[in-house]
Structure 1
Amino acid sequence: MRVVIQRCKRARVTVEGKVTGEIGSGLMVLVGVTHEDTEKDAKYLADKVAGLRIFEDEEGKMNRSVTDAGGSVLSVSQFTLYGDARKGRRPSFIEAARPEQAEGLYEAFNAFVRANGLEVQTGVFGADMDVELVNAGPVTILLDSRE
Structure 2
Amino acid sequence: MRFDELPRDWAQRPITDPDVFEGVVDLIVTEQSRSDGAIYLLLCHPNRHLLQPICLPDEPRRMDVGEVLDGVRLLLTEVSRHDVRDVVMVIARPGRVTPTPRDRDLRAAFEGACRGAGFTLHAVAIAALDDVAVLPAEGDCAAA
Structure-1-length-normalised TM-score: 0.43
Structure-2-length-normalised TM-score: 0.44
Higher strand share: 1
Higher helix share: 2
**Rg larger for:** 1
